[in-house]
Every structure is written in C-alpha cells, then in structure tokens.
Amino acid sequence: MDYFSVLLFCSSLLLIIIPSTAVDSINTTQLFRDGDSIVSASGSFKLGFFSFGSPINRYLCISYNQISTTTIVWVANRETPLNDSSGVLRINSQGILILVDQSRSTIWSSNSSRSARNPIAQLLDSGNLVVKEEGDGNLENSLWQSFDYPGDTFLPEMKLGRNKVTSLDRYISSSKSADDPSRGNYTFRLDPAAYSELIMREGSSERFRSGPWNGMRFSGTPQLKPNPIYTYRFVYDGDEEYYTYKLVNSSFLSRMVINQNGAIQRFTWIDRTQSWELYLSVQTDNCDRYALCGAYATCSINNSPVCGCLEGFSPNVSKDWDTMDWSSGCVRKTPLNCSEDGFQKFSGVKLPETRKSWFNRTMNLDECRSTCLKNCSCTAYANLDISINGGSGCLLWLGDLVDMRQINENGQDIYIRMAASELGMKSSLLRCNSQMLRF
C-alpha cells in the first residue's frame, strides 16, 4: 500500500460515516456516501445519489422528499457523472464541498471566496443546499449555496438574475434529455444588455423574450398575475437585479422548469392524482416566437395571417410577406422629419426589445415624451412602471421596434414616433406657423 493510500485510510478513520437516519447537515468530520441521505428539517427535500435512465451513471442530487414521484430539482455533478456507486461527498475545513470517485479524483466541487471556522453544509426546507458557519442563521452570510447555481428548475425563493457587484449570473438551462441531466441547448436568463427582461435562447439564438418588467409583470407575459399559489416580484437595486417568487402556502408544491425543447413551464403537485400538473406555459402560441414579424410589425394570434404592419408602416419586402415570410419587417410610409414628428399611441401590446433603450425612474409621461421628441434617434416611449395609477418613469427606444405582439389582456401602451402627415398634424402645424408669422 503506497504512502498516499495509507494516509487516506488513516484520515478516513477519523471521519464519521453519516448515518442513513434523517439529518439536515454534514460537517467536516463526516463522509457522505452513495446510499446516505440528508433531509431538510421539515422533510421537504432530500440530498442523495440518483441515476437518470442508466443505473451506471450516478449523480449527487436534491429531490422532493415527500411525494410519490421522484423529482430531481438540482444536480451537483451535472456534467460529470460517477460511473459507479463509489462516490463520496465531504466538506473540507475551508468550507468547500468535494465529490470524489473511487480513485479519489475530484468529480465536482463547490467554491468559496472566504473560509469559516466550523463550516457545515445544510439542506434547507426551500431545497437550497447551503455551506455556512455552524450556528449562523443568516443566509446572506453563507459561503456557497446551490440556489446560486440552478439547473433546469427554478424553485420558490430562488433568484433568476444577476448580482451586479460579484457578476454572479443565476439562470436555468435545459437538460440534454430525461436520461442525461447535463446542460442542453436552451437557457432562460436575464439579459444584461436589455432593460429587465428574461430571454430564452437556443445556443446563441434568441427564441423568446418576456418583455421588460413594468412594475406588475413582464409586458409579454399577461398570464403572470395575482393568484392563490404564489406571489412574485422583480428587484432592481444598486447591487442586484432579479426575478423571484414565493409560495403562498409552503405545503403546496410548485416549480418552474425549462425542458429539453426550450419550453418554460410551471407545474403544481396534485395530491389526488399523485402527479405534477401543468399550471401554465410561459410561451403560449406562435406569436411568442422571437421577432416572428420583424421590425415595426405586430403579431396577433387571432388574425390570419398573424403578422401585420403597424399603422403608418408597410411591408419592407412585399414578395416575402406574400409567402408568409415576415422576417424583413415593415418600413415607414413617410420618413421622419424630427422637427415636425409626433407620436401615435398603440394599446394592448408587448413592448419591443429593449437592448437599444434608455430609462429614467422619476420622469412622468409628459417629460418622457418631451425627452424622446428632442432626440431624433428616439423611436418610441412608454411608462416604465404601470403599477401606480397613471404610470411612472420613462422608457425610451433608440432603434427599430422589434418583437411586438398584440396582448388580449394586461397589455401596455406605447407611443411610437410618426411623421406629422401620418398623424394629420402637418397641415395644422403649417397653419399655426403662418398665423404666428402674420402676428
């Protein structure tokens, strides 16, 4: 037996193998082996080793513990499965979780920017695996937590968004298949280049966007509204920008998942049927396809064809539109003049993509209009927040308006810059100017 093996064997004698009885944490003197489990204090979640499809590959996972269907919500070694049941998890004195295989090669590990005197790893009733100082109940002081590194599941109290100080980006990503939890082709994350909207991508290609947060919901998700199951909010402050939700009744189970095909769905557990039932889908129909109709057009699922140019605009490439290819979008019938432009109000819409935008939280709508009018590059404006009567704040668009759709309920108003003649304003402006000259 070589020196390393002897040292490892002797060290292991000092460690206590964690028993199979329910405990919610492990410390630096314990080994966690395949077959062991830790269970959160209320029994809601369990940490253990599982297989997906093939029993050969083993993964360290968090799952629901009190339902009849095995439902995995987080996988540690998502990209690197163990090829047998020899996996061992431990937490070292620096507060780092380390998962090793039979040869003691590291399969997966956590990280930490600081150390603790007596670190433990505890599974919380939220399903969050937290590394922290023993006895410290403040989650903000944790050294590491699984909620910062989601898989394909968005659980209550998770944050979907980013920490602007640490650059931590929390997002969900699809699995390759039901038998392979490694990262698939789809991600759903807060877009750092846009104003407060979530983007679903296939690889680097954008497939769906939520629309910007308007104080009540994302403007392109009218189905997001007060309900008896969960409350939700969007946080935008100096340090963080994220979306989160919380269950009204903690005994009720609900989770959001991005599946292998990029569909973002919310499920609820029904005791009567002992199954997960689909509560809602974020993408509802063909009009949720990103930029289906191109620039300056709207998509209305009740129309045939679904795409149409905004009033004052016409198809950019008519022959393409004749064959139901709307990607070229629409162009203005009358070019802008800048000094004589006005605005047309469009109601009940999903607001356009916000990558080329500007915002101000304190302006009212009149100030927003004036600011847009003074900037010849400004193509539209809207309230930033519609949760207050009359609205508040200002969101300006500084480029083409892309990915709009008609919303049947909970839509929003947008004011789009138009040439005066398209608004019937030009003649009145000329009359006004001539009267001023005579005066």
Spatial CA neighbour of 425 closest among 296, 298, 334, 314: 334
pLDDT band at 16 (very low <50, low <70, confident <90, very high): very low
Same domain, 199 and 317: no
Q: Note the pLDDT of residue 14.
A: 42
Same domain, 140 and 155: no
Mean pLDDT for the chain overall: 91
Q: Note the pLDDT of residue 3.
A: 40
Q: Note the pLDDT of residue 8.
A: 41
pLDDT at 425 over 80: no
Residue that is last in its domain, among 127, 146, 165: 146
Same domain, 4 and 128: yes
Alpha-carbon separation of residue 194 from 160, 293, 336, 355 (angstroms): 15, 20, 25, 4
Residue that is last in its domain, among 267, 284, 301: 284
- pTM reported for the whole predicted model: 0.89
Q: Note the pLDDT of residue 388.
A: 85
pLDDT at 5 over 60: no
pLDDT, mean of residues 335-363: 95
Same domain, 163 and 259: yes
pLDDT, mean of residues 406-419: 93
Residues ≥6 apart with Cβ < 8 Å to 221: 210, 211, 282
Contact 332, 316 (CB under 8 A): no
Same domain, 70 and 154: no
pLDDT, mean of residues 72-82: 97
Same domain, 14 and 98: yes
Same domain, 115 and 14: yes
Q: Note the pLDDT of residue 6.
A: 39
pLDDT band at 137 (very low <50, low <70, confident <90, very high): confident
Contact 241, 212 (CB under 8 A): no
In a domain, 432, yes or no: no
Q: What is the pLDDT of residues 269-313, one digit of tens each?
A: 999 999 999 999 999 999 999 999 999 999 999 999 999 999 999
DSSP string covering 291-307, please? Answer: TTT-BTEEE-TTSSSSE
In a domain, 433, yes or no: no
- Domains identified in the chain, total number: 3
Q: Note the pLDDT of residue 410.
A: 86
Report d(CA 168, CA 213) in Å as an integer.
Answer: 21
Residue that is last in its domain, among 112, 146, 180: 146
The CATH number of residue 13's host domain is 2.90.10.10
Residue range(s) defining the domain that contains residue 310:
293-426
pLDDT, mean of residues 201-228: 96
Report d(CA 98, CA 361) in Å as an integer.
Answer: 45
